[in-house]
């Protein structure tokens, strides 16, 4: 076999190896399906959303973060899509007063607020976990970091998009008037203060503990 033929064969083998690595295993697909089911179950029970007069308190980012850490950014993006779709469904059906009001103002902007933000959150949670896990030799801290960022990024992307798309609406300015007419940054801090104090620690602890436990039993190569 000539050198050129050898190079072609080597390249083909490498391409095939990369292709196989990109494909999700049966274990991954099963886990992804389970987490998708959990998200849907949470969405239609009080476990997923706690409705308030303002932004709903949610724990939906926890399964998204778990999936992103166990299976990577692409799985995180898919689970973020499921999370966002249930949020948009609540806006359309009026289950969430806050989201429904935004939907009545602009269905397109509400779609952008609910879905792309959650997909980006899931994807980046997976990316951050991969980066931190390379530095975390014991592979413990990285799970809690990923759990925290799932909630933190969810808040940041959602609120940034809310300010960008709805800041000048009468509805959001009504909240701002109640806060004393503050600037957008202080508005975000005041608006999500309670939510952040509940969601961030819950996602950090629950996401970290569950992801670590599942990775130890099913994904031993991660630990």
Whether the full predicted model's pTM is greater than 0.95, yes or no, is no
Q: With CA atoms as reference, report the closest residue to 89 among 79, 99, 80.
A: 99
- Tens of pLDDT, residue by residue over 17-42, are 443 445 678 888 888 999 999 999 99
- Tens of pLDDT, residue by residue over 145-168, are 999 999 999 999 999 999 999 999
Q: How confident is the model at residue 18, as a pLDDT?
A: 41
State how far the Cα of 215 lies from the Cα of 86, in Å rounded to an integer: 27
Q: How confident is the model at residue 186, as a pLDDT?
A: 92
State how far the Cα of 181 lies from the Cα of 176, in Å rounded to an integer: 5
pLDDT exceeding 70 applies to what percent of the chain? 85
In the block, tokens 């998009």 appear at 161
In the block, tokens 């997923």 appear at 48
State how far the Cα of 8 lies from the Cα of 1, in Å rounded to an integer: 11
Q: pLDDT class for 54, splitting at 50, 70, 90?
A: low
The DSSP call for residue 47 is T
């Amino acid at each position: 076999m000539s050198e050129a033929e050898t190079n072609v064969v080597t390249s083909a083998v490498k391409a095939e190896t990369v292709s196989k690595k990109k494909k999700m295993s049966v274990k991954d697909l099963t886990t992804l399906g389970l987490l998708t089911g959990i998200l849907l179950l949470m969405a239609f029970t009080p476990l997923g959303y706690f409705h308030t007069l303002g932004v709903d308190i949610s724990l939906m980012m926890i399964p998204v973060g778990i999936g992103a850490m166990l299976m990577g950014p692409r799985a995180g993006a898919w689970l973020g899509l499921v999370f966002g779709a249930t949020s948009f469904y609540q806006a359309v059906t009026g289950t969430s007063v806050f989201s429904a009001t935004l939907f009545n103002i602009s269905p397109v902007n509400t779609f952008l607020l609910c879905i792309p933000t959650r997909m980006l959150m899931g994807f980046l949670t997976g990316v951050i976990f991969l980066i931190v896990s390379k530095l975390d030799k014991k592979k413990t801290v990285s799970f809690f970091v990923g759990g925290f960022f799932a909630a933190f990024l969810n808040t940041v992307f959602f609120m940034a998009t809310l300010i960008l798309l709805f800041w000048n609406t009468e509805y959001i300015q009504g909240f701002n008037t109640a806060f004393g007419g503050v600037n957008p940054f202080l508005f975000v801090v005041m608006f999500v203060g309670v939510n952040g104090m509940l969601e961030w620690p819950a996602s950090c602890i629950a996401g970290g503990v569950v992801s670590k436990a599942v990775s130890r039993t099913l994904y031993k190569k991660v630990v």
